[in-house]
Structure 1
Amino acid sequence: MAIHDISAQGLIQTARDGLSELTWTTTFAVFVFSCIATRVISGLQSRQRVHDPAEPRTSRLAPYWFPWVGHGISFLWDHQGLLGSLRDSMGESVFGVYLRGETHDTVISPSMMKTILSSQDASSTPLLDQALQNVFGDRSLIRNLRLARNQEVSDDVSGIMSREPFISDASTAIINMLQRNVANLVSFSRSPVDQFQWERDGHVSTSEENQSTCEARLFELIRSFVGQNLSTFLMSEAFVENFPLFLTDLWTLDKNFVPLFLGLRRWVPTTPNISAGFPARDRLLHMMSVFYRAFNAWDDGIDPGIELRELDDVSDLVKERMRTFRKLELSPSASAAGHLSLYWDVIEYTSKITFWTITHIFADSELLKEIRKEISTCVKSSRPSRQETGFPFEEPPRLDMDLEKVLDSCPLLKACYYESIRLHSAGISFRKLETDMTLTESTEDATQPRTYKLRKGENVIMPHGVYHNDPLRFSNPDQYDPLRFIVTDSVSGTKRANAASLAPFADGLYGCKNNALTERAILAFTAGIVSMWDITSTDENGLVVPKNWTTWGTFQPAKDVKVKMQLRV
């Protein structure tokens, strides 16, 4: 009997092993066959059709391998590389990509992009909704913002960031902060306790042998310096002092933006860093809730508490948004996602593009010399001597800046900023068509303009990074050349920076990334640092601009740059 039981168990186990092996083998075979069949079928569907030249073209779907997923894996890994290669292989200005069971029309032509972005018949896709929900933890803001439109309650964030008096107030506040803090970009304090938060983030170190020079990681230093100063302007000095690690959590959230946006969970093994994104977001939302509560109390003339008592210096942009949310009777937790998403949208773009602009300028000694010569009439760094002050110690360096003159008379500096956008950002704009739309290329886009017809309900992708790296539109697109944006007036002979070839700019969560606020902030931070500091590489080979770490929106460097910092005055 026992022998019989053992034999039966052995047969059962053998059957299980065979079935398991057969199941895995069969599953793999079915998967491979499905991929091959999908590629063959999509390839046949993608073939160039014979059509009447007088009739508009339709979007051809690019071939893909994976069922349902389509181009999704390649799109997430490197959307700019994928769409650029499809543009070249398809030979079309409009073509389809297949993502998660849906076809998206990809529009490459800038003239057609402008038509779609300016059309009232192309509404925003659920991108903002998905970002607010998955990245910023929204639960009810989207519904309430739609209700706000019905109640004629304005939430005009992009409008406020581009008009007076907000722009003048922002310029004055940023210049005042730079005058106080740019000389302390590194303080040469050896102890981290005595350093500013941006120095600790940038791993600043000073040696005993030469205390007038220090070493730092340039990206983390510039990002934190810009982020903290711009946060002070937007949110108030009390906010920055009361939440000193707010930016640390923001950078963690930013690093995990894509996996969070896709709705991945913290236990997903392919994304080891995402586990830090969830608690960072929770802390950020809690801080925003506390701040919203304190602001409402302050706005009512009630003491909000000792930590957040002084809120007079909160920017008009944030004040207006908080009051809008209050009109909608949003709770602190319900409004937190809206405040956090706006804050991230401004800070991440401004801080990263400032880093790229500064790094390119200091990596080219001739360009650095020309920039310093150009800004010398409107940006001056100085240090009064002991004889001038009559004190037995040195005064701290001083910065004088006329930002309006920088904007009007420093075309090379502005061109460096535009070229940094072109090389180091790859934003994507999304739209959903509410009616049929016929699009025709301009004569500038094509010698033989083609016309395409898109259908109502179709999703449209506009990859700005692909256009900005098109060799047919920008000569030597991999090369940093700010002179491509310099134009000379034929009558007066004066030079100016013209960003027309960059347009249309990519959408952020709240309108165009390149608005009046971000442009002024980036140019001010760049000019102030270039004027007051010498930045050289710790490597004998000189300062080298790092490669992009491809992500959505504004790129980070694949590897930080170790530099030496020294005051010029």
Structure 2
Amino acid sequence: MERYETSTHGLVQAVHDGTSELIWPMFLAVVVLSCIATRLITGLQSSQHEQDPTEPRTARLAPYWFPWMGHGVSFLWNHVNLFTRLRDSMNEPVFGVYLRGIKHDTVVSPSMIESILSSQDSSSAPALDQALQNVFGDRTLVRNLNMDHNREISDDVPSILNRGPFVSEASAAFVRLAQQNTPNLVSFCRSPVDQAPWERSGLVKLPETGDQSICEVNLLALVRGFVGHITTTFLMGEAFVEAFPGALENLWTLDNNFVTLFVGTPRWVPLPGASAGYAARDRLLHIMAVFYRAFTAWDDGIDPGIELRDLDDVSELVKQRMRTFRKLELSPAGSAAGHVSLYWDLMEHTTKITFWMIIHIFADPALLKDIRREIAPYVKSSRPSRQETGFPFEEPPKLALDLEKVLTLCPLFKACYYEAMRLHSAGISFRKMETDVTLSESTDEAAYNLTEPRTYRIRKGEKAILFHGVHHHDFRYFSNPDQYDPLRFIVTDSASGAKRADARTLTPFADGLYSSKSNSFTERATLAFTAGIVSMWEIKSTSGKSLAVPGHKTTWGAFRPAKDVRVKMKLAV
């Protein structure tokens, strides 16, 4: 009997051990078979999607591998490659993608995208809501406010950004701060205590011996820190910059992980990017809650505390937005996500596009020479000699910038901005249809595909993704689309022969959370900072070879470089 029990126990144990060893291979097999079955079924459904030739088409769903997640894995990994590949394989200007159990109609036709963006029959609320909740951590703003209030919060931004007084205020501030700070882009101080905040992030290194007027820096970190510091000073005021020196670094961390958070990656998922993104977001929410509380006290004439006592220089955009939140009776914690999202929306394109403009201009000596010649009458760098001043030491260099003349009389320089936007941004706009919408290809677009113009219907309640990057890199609209060529945006007036920069179809293809990325604020800030740096500084590769433009790291909106670029810098005057 004892032998029987021992034998039985051994058999049970063997079965248990064998089953344990098979669990993971069986689980993996089930997952693989599920993915294969999903791909076969969705591929068959896509190929057999019948359309009534007398009626507008409906978007044909692109095949996918993963149940429920659909195209979500590819979207998270590289949304640019995903939509470009699907555009080519589906050969249609409108097609469906499946993300987390929901079908989205993806539109890549330029004329159709422009129609939706300019239409009153669609709403951007779903994208704003999803970004506010998933990326910026909102738990009150969307949930507790009705749609009218939600729209009031988002619509007040573009109305202010395009208003003359704010544009004038921003231009004057950018010119003043650029003239004041560009000569000190690098101070050549060895001690971090004596360096400006952007220098510390740029890891400035001075040579131990030899020419002390040359230094090595990380160009992206330096430019992003410099532009971010100045833009934050204008938007939030000097007291904010001094009280919260870590705000920018947290914003960059959040930007680096925007897509990961946007698709709803839970906090507990063991991804370094997700955990860092959530931590940075929490710190930013705390900063904005403190800032909002101080501003409301200051607005009431109450002393908000010594660190945030002087808030007179906060921009009118931020002041009005905080007063709107207060009118809606939002608490400091409840309004924080709205402040962080606007801060990110205004900063991310300005900082990154400035970097891309600078590195492209300095990587092409002929272009650099032409740009300097064009802007020279309106952007002047100078340094008085010792003989002129009579002092035994050199005076610091000075910058004089006429931004309005640069905007109107420097077409090549402005075209460099448009080309950087085209080549280094691939924004995505989300819309929800408020009514049935019918879209038609333009005759020119249909001719590219050797077809008759096709018409599609997106029904009320359906969600649409407008992907701008496919158009930006389409050889049918831009010859050699992977090449940086600002001349593609230069047009010559047939009557006068005068040249000007024309964004053409690029203009409507830059939708942000709160406003178009092609707004005057972003353009003026980017051109002011770039003009000052190009005029006043020399930037070269540390290797002595030509400066190389890095590849992309896929992020939201404007791309980050795949890696930072180590360069040598010295004053040009």
For the criterion TM > 0.5, the same-fold answer is yes
Alignment match, 1:303: 303
Shift in alpha-carbon separation, 1:193–1:154, aligned structure 2, 3 A: closer
CA-to-partner distance for each residue in 1:366-398, whole Å, 9 max, x for gaps? Answer: 000000001011110111222333333222111
- Match of 1:284, SS state, is helix
Alignment match, 2:258: 257
**1:491 is the counterpart of 2:492:** no
User: Does the CA contact (< 8 Å) of 1:69 and 1:100 recur in 2?
Assistant: yes
Q: Is the deviation greater in 504-513 or in 231-240?
A: 504-513
User: Does the CA contact (< 8 Å) of 1:431 and 1:461 recur in 2?
Assistant: yes
Q: Is the deviation greater in 345-354 or in 246-255?
A: 246-255
- Match of 2:70, SS state, is coil
Q: CA deviation at 1:173?
A: 0.7
**1:465 is the counterpart of 2:469:** yes
Q: Distance in 1 between matches of 2:552 and 2:493?
A: 35
Amino acid at match of 1:279: A
Amino acid at match of 2:469: G
Shift in alpha-carbon separation, 1:409–1:439, aligned structure 2, 3 A: same
Alignment match, 1:220: 221
- Match of 2:373, SS state, is helix
Q: CA deviation at 1:222?
A: 0.2
Q: Distance in 1 between matches of 2:33 and 2:62?
A: 20
Unaligned runs of 5+ in 1: none
- Match of 1:393, SS state, is coil
- Match of 2:89, SS state, is helix
Alignment match, 1:393: 393
Q: Distance in 1 between matches of 2:221 and 2:152?
A: 42
User: Does the CA contact (< 8 Å) of 1:144 and 1:328 recur in 2?
Assistant: no
- Match of 1:444, SS state, is helix
Q: Distance in 2 between matches of 1:212 and 1:65?
A: 57
- Match of 1:456, SS state, is coil
Matches within 5 A, 1:344-493: 344-447=344-447, 448-493=452-497
Unaligned runs of 5+ in 2: none
Q: Distance in 1 between matches of 2:353 and 2:523?
A: 10
CA-to-partner distance for each residue in 1:312-331, whole Å, 9 max, x for gaps? Answer: 10000000001111111211
Q: CA deviation at 1:504?
A: 1.9
- Match of 1:273, SS state, is helix
Alignment match, 1:121: 121
User: Does the CA contact (< 8 Å) of 1:148 and 1:154 recur in 2?
Assistant: no
User: Does the CA contact (< 8 Å) of 2:260 and 2:273 recur in 1?
Assistant: no
CA-to-partner distance for each residue in 1:224-250, whole Å, 9 max, x for gaps? Answer: 000001000000011101111211111
Q: Which runs of 4+ in 1 moved over 6 A?
A: 150-154
**1:536 is the counterpart of 2:537:** no
Alignment match, 2:248: 247
Q: Distance in 1 between matches of 2:319 and 2:290?
A: 15
Q: Distance in 2 between matches of 1:178 and 1:521?
A: 9
User: Does the CA contact (< 8 Å) of 1:438 and 1:454 recur in 2?
Assistant: yes
Superposition TM-score, scaled by structure 1 size: 0.96
Alignment match, 2:331: 331
Q: Is the deviation greater in 380-389 or in 525-534?
A: 380-389
CA-to-partner distance for each residue in 1:186-240, whole Å, 9 max, x for gaps? Answer: 0001111211110010000111322100000000100000000100000001110
**1:273 is the counterpart of 2:277:** no
Number of residue pairs the alignment of both structures matches: 568
Shift in alpha-carbon separation, 1:279–1:32, aligned structure 2, 3 A: closer
Q: Distance in 2 between matches of 1:32 and 1:109?
A: 35
Q: Distance in 1 between matches of 2:366 and 2:17?
A: 71
Alignment match, 1:505: 509
Shift in alpha-carbon separation, 1:151–1:472, aligned structure 2, 3 A: closer
Q: CA deviation at 1:153?
A: 7.9
User: Does the CA contact (< 8 Å) of 2:507 and 2:518 recur in 1?
Assistant: no
Shift in alpha-carbon separation, 1:48–1:498, aligned structure 2, 3 A: farther
Amino acid at match of 1:203: L
Percent identity over paired residues = 68
Q: Distance in 1 between matches of 2:548 and 2:389?
A: 40
Q: Is the deviation greater in 142-151 or in 497-506?
A: 142-151
Shift in alpha-carbon separation, 1:304–1:263, aligned structure 2, 3 A: same
Please give the root-mean-square deviation of Cα atoms over the aligned residues, in Å: 1.9
Alignment match, 1:94: 94
User: Does the CA contact (< 8 Å) of 1:70 and 1:98 recur in 2?
Assistant: yes
Q: CA deviation at 1:151?
A: 11
Alignment match, 1:235: 236
Q: CA deviation at 1:261?
A: 2.0
Alignment match, 2:530: 526
